[in-house]
Structure 1
Amino acid sequence: MATRERIVLCFKKLSEERGFYGATVDELAARNNMSKRTIYRYFKSKEEIIEAVLQMTMLEIERGVLEILGSSENPIEKITGFVKFLSEKLRSFNPRIMGDLQRHYPEMWERVEKFRGEKIKYLAQIMVEGSKEGYFKEMNPTIVTASLLAAVRAVVNPTFILENNLTPEEAFKTIMHTFLYGIVAKDSLG
């Protein structure tokens, strides 16, 4: 494994434990058995390492989402796969990382928000495709996309998650379950 990649992977693991802000280059160097000087040969700053971690994570998610979209499965299976895939990605995601981005690295948080918005549009695209094929009710794709994105931004955010003692995975799964199945109990439908 190349030194640069080793640094990024080690920082990713360190930040999962301590958050981006709490993880230090000193600790990164110690865990990698290398000097800070070596790290700074590959990265100009801690922020550049954080950007590399984000880029790597977003690339992994992009590949997974595109694989699901490109599959020959029906729209219900695609949505189920989409939710399962993102839930697995969020399972190991420390909410403190999101909070650190929002608070200490706002430009990077904006990139994450833009990325999330693009992925939600993919999900809405599956729903529209499904409604044309009779799997889902007919719906206005603009409203579907806006409401789903607003729900994700309101609930899968560090403040909400930490204040309500949730995990990012739990927050996302609950939004998606509510969005897809509603809140009415099956027995209540008569």
Structure 2
Amino acid sequence: MQTKDKILLAFKDLSQEKGFYDATVDELALRSRVSKRTIYRYFNSKEEIIEEVMFKFIKETEQAIDGVLNSSEQAPDKIAKIIRILSERLKGLNPRVLRDLQRHYPIIWEKVEQFRAGKLKRMVTIVIEEGKEGSSNSINPTVATASLLATVRAVVNPTFMIDNNLTPEEAIQNVMHIFLYGLTGAKREF
């Protein structure tokens, strides 16, 4: 494993325990078994390390989701796979990490928000358009996207998750279940 990757992996593990804000470069040096000088050879600041960890997380998540969205599977199967991908990617993610991004690293948090908005819009649009084939489904993709995005921002939100003792995995699973099946799970015509 390359030294830079070793540092990033060690920081990712350390941040799961302490959050991004409370993790120190001294602790990172111990955890990664490299000197602080070596860390600063690869990164100019702790914020740059955080940005790289989050960029890698976003990129890997994006590739997995795009693979599903570009597949020839039916819309319901795509949704199920995307929910599994998101659940797996968010499993074990400490909500403090997200809270730290939101509070202390707003520029990085905004990139996370842009990613979420872009992926949700693409997912909803593709699923609705594919679902219309042979159906009388008249859901407006703009309304569906705005509704889902607002719900995700409210629930898969660091403060909400911490206040309600939810993991990111639990939060996204509940949001998607309610969004797809409603509160009762029964299909109704309006």
The answer to whether TM tops 0.5 is yes
Q: Which residue of 1 aligns with 2:105?
A: 105
Q: How does 1:140-159 map to 2 (within 5 A)?
A: 140-159=140-159
Q: How does 1:122-137 map to 2 (within 5 A)?
A: 122-134=122-134, 137=137
Q: Distance in 1 between matches of 2:119 and 2:135?
A: 21
Tell whether 2:81 aligns with 1:73.
Answer: no
AA aligned opposite 1:14:
L
Q: Which residue of 2 aligns with 1:2?
A: 2
Please give the root-mean-square deviation of Cα atoms over the aligned residues, in Å: 1.8
Post-superposition offset of 1:128: 1.5
Q: How does 1:145-184 map to 2 (within 5 A)?
A: 145-184=145-184
Post-superposition offset of 1:135: 6.6
Q: For structure 1, which segment, 74-83 or 128-137, has the greater mean C-alpha deviation from structure 2 after superposition? A: 128-137
Post-superposition offset of 1:136: 8.2
Q: Which residue of 2 aligns with 1:119?
A: 119
AA aligned opposite 1:158:
P
CA contact (8 A) 1:76 1:130 kept: no
Residues 135/2 of structure 1: CA separation in 2 closer, same or farther (3 Å cut) = farther
Q: Deviations over 1:71-129 (max 9, x none)?
A: 11100000000111001111121100010001111111111111110111122123222
SS of the counterpart of 1:31?
helix
AA aligned opposite 2:169:
E
Q: Which residue of 1 aligns with 2:49?
A: 49
Residues 14/7 of structure 1: CA separation in 2 closer, same or farther (3 Å cut) = same
CA contact (8 A) 2:7 2:32 kept: yes
Q: Deviations over 1:30-89 (max 9, x none)?
A: 112111011001100000000110111011001101111111110000000011100111
For structure 2, the 5+ residue unaligned runs are none
Post-superposition offset of 1:131: 2.6
TM-score (norm 1): 0.94
Alignment: residue pair count? 189
Q: Distance in 2 between matches of 1:21 and 1:117?
A: 25
CA contact (8 A) 2:156 2:171 kept: yes
Q: Distance in 2 between matches of 1:46 and 1:171?
A: 28
Q: Distance in 2 between matches of 1:94 and 1:154?
A: 17
AA aligned opposite 1:110:
E
Q: Which residue of 2 aligns with 1:24?
A: 24
For structure 1, the 5+ residue unaligned runs are none
Residues 184/136 of structure 1: CA separation in 2 closer, same or farther (3 Å cut) = farther
Q: For structure 1, which segment, 142-151 or 26-35, has the greater mean C-alpha deviation from structure 2 after superposition? A: 26-35
